[in-house]
A and B are shown apart, each in its own frame.
Chain A
Amino acid sequence: MYEELLEDIAQQNRLREVNTVTKLIAGLGAVILCLLSASFVAPLFIALVLTATLLVLARIDPATYGKAFFGPLLFGGLGVGAIVLLAGGEGTFWSWQLLPWFSLSITQASINQGFFIFSRVIGGTSALLFIAFTTPMTDLFLVMRRARMPDEVLDLAMIIYRSIFLIMDQLVQVYQAQLMRLGYSSFRESIRSFATLAGSVFIASWEAGEDLTRAMEARCYEGKFAVLGEGRPLSLPSAAAVVSFLAVSAVVVKATSHIRLF
């Protein structure tokens, strides 16, 4: 069901050993450049480069990548559809005056805008997936600690992270047991099964939390987890690659700002 988290893949990708900050700068830089772009060209360019990097250098399975990429895009498509209908502007193809204050139309300008936003979503999603597939959360915690994130928040984040996998295991087990006993055969039945599933998982995770408290007390926890992690050394080739990627993307953003779809 939900076993396959991107996190598992991140633990094994070929870019794992690259310095975490370098990878973060590449991903965050791509997010910012996509937002600053005024045309659809630059986000698509960024998406292309990052996708190629993930598939070729990080050796991510294309089918897994495709699934992770297109799922979220569906929701984006729905929103973009609404914007195309609302934005209005020059060159009307179709319009429908529903109420005096409410009309839907499809125009040249609105299609341009919709396509532009959709390309930004594609670029942004690829940047997120780049971070997701190449950087395990455990590496990020180390960066967060160095970036002076408040201790309470970081500890909370680490416990949440840990408990996700615990809860997921239990959830899958209970869910499969329910499924085998026809727990999801009708709508009413599914609601009931889902509620017992969530309830039992809540109680189980609560107990896991209490166990964790005892375990931490026994190990002299005093309000701050030690974060262990190998410092991944900054390597010149990867830093140079990220800098040139961001520089070229910035030039593309600047040079293509006037290009429209049609």
Chain B
Amino acid sequence: MHIMEGFLPPEWAVFWWVLALPCLGFGIFQLRKILAADREALPLLGVTGGFIFILSSLKLPSVTGSCSHPTGTGLSSVCFGPWVTSVICAIVLLFQSLFLAHGGLSVLGANIISMGVVGPLAGWTIYRALRDTRVNMFFTVFLACAIADLCTYVVTSLELALAYPAEVGGVASSFVLFLGIFAITQVPLAIVEGVVLALVFKYIVQLKPEILVRLKVFPEARIRAAAGDA
């Protein structure tokens, strides 16, 4: 879910850009560290970006039948960490605005914060909290992806509400209205995205577990055990 070009007033567009830039800077710093340690990571990060682009331009089977799309950031955040995901996401968002007119340039900062920073960070936090517990691996991935998608949508609503507070009740009541409007499509969507990405994860575990072992997504023994079960 992206904010459209021209939707935010100039002062808010600048505000979100200012907030997004340091996050991107930190992401680039992390990216350099990863590439210095393992040069082979670059093509893999690249195809992940392509994957996010494709996934977030796809229409998911959604309950309301509206045009909603997954973000795909949860899986990347689990695999590569949240900050590198922000850099990938920023590039993907730029491409989307220039390939498909999804999102925009002045609102790119706001979209980076919602889809590239807060969403992945939230998903990653859930994943880190549950990784070393006895919670089922697939359920962890489901939660991380669903929460990443949900947070993206909550932050987008907040960005819209801050820019356009209601006359009665101010930011809070316009936040409620934006949340309400988008909840119709986004809540089922977040659940569907979580289920789909958990199934994708399961599929990878079954067919190519060495990817996950190499990225140390979960302890090797658990991944091997899950692959053996399947």
Contacts and interface: CB of A to CB of B under 8 A. Distances in A.
Nearest to A216: B43
Interface residues of A, number: 87
Contacts, number: 251
Contact of B98 (A2, A132, A171): A132
Contacts of A124: 4-7, 104, 106
B39 A163 contact: no
B99 A5 contact: yes
User: Which of B10, B42, B43 has the most A CB atoms < 10 Å from its CB?
Assistant: B43
B228 to A, nearest CB: 18
A120 B200 contact: no
B1 to A, nearest CB: 8
A262 interface: no
A31 interface: yes
Contact of B10 (A36, A191, A201): A36
A101 B101 contact: no
A125 interface: yes
A156 B4 contact: no
Contacts of B9: 35
SS of B interface (majority): helix
A68 B102 CA distance: 10
B6 A6 contact: no
A181 B28 CA distance: 44
Contact of A79 (B48, B88, B160, B168): B160
A17 interface: no
Nearest to A193: B61
Given A128-B101, A159-B47, A191-B192, A171 B5 contact: no
B17 to A, nearest CB: 12
Contacts of A83: 164
Given A35-B6, A205-B51, A156 B87 contact: yes
Given A35-B9, A43-B6, A160-B50, A191 B164 contact: no
A191 B195 contact: yes
B199 to A, nearest CB: 3
Contacts of A206: 44, 47, 208, 211
B35 interface: yes
Interface magnitude class on chain B: 35 or more
Interface in A78-103: 78-79, 82-83, 85-89, 101-103
Contact of B101 (A72, A160, A201): A72
Contacts of A161: 50, 95
Given A195-B199, A203-B208, A167 B47 contact: yes
B142 to A, nearest CB: 11
Contact of B199 (A160, A199, A201, A208): A199
B164 A86 contact: yes
A244 B31 CA distance: 42
Contact of A171 (B42, B54, B173, B211): B54
Interface in B66-106: 67, 75, 87-88, 91-92, 94-95, 97-102, 104-106
B172 A101 contact: yes
B22 interface: no
A29 to B, nearest CB: 12
A83 B175 CA distance: 11
23 contacts: A6-B100, A6-B101, A31-B104, A35-B6, A69-B101, A71-B67, A82-B174, A82-B178, A86-B165, A87-B164, A88-B168, A102-B168, A121-B6, A125-B104, A128-B97, A131-B98, A161-B50, A164-B54, A191-B195, A199-B204, A206-B211, A212-B43, A216-B43
Interface of A: 2, 5-7, 28, 31-32, 34-36, 43, 68-69, 71-72, 74-76, 78-79, 82-83, 85-89, 101-105, 117, 120-125, 127-129, 131-132, 135, 137, 140, 150, 152-153, 155-164, 166-168, 171, 184, 187, 190-192, 194-196, 198-203, 205-206, 208-210, 212-213, 216, 223
- Which 6 pairs show the lowest CB-CB distances between chains A and B? A88-B167, A159-B46, A124-B6, A163-B50, A199-B203, A195-B199
Interface of B: 3-7, 9-10, 13, 28, 31-32, 35, 39-40, 42-51, 53-55, 57-58, 60-61, 63, 67, 75, 87-88, 91-92, 94-95, 97-102, 104-106, 160, 164-169, 172-174, 176-178, 181, 192, 195-197, 199-200, 202-204, 207-208, 211
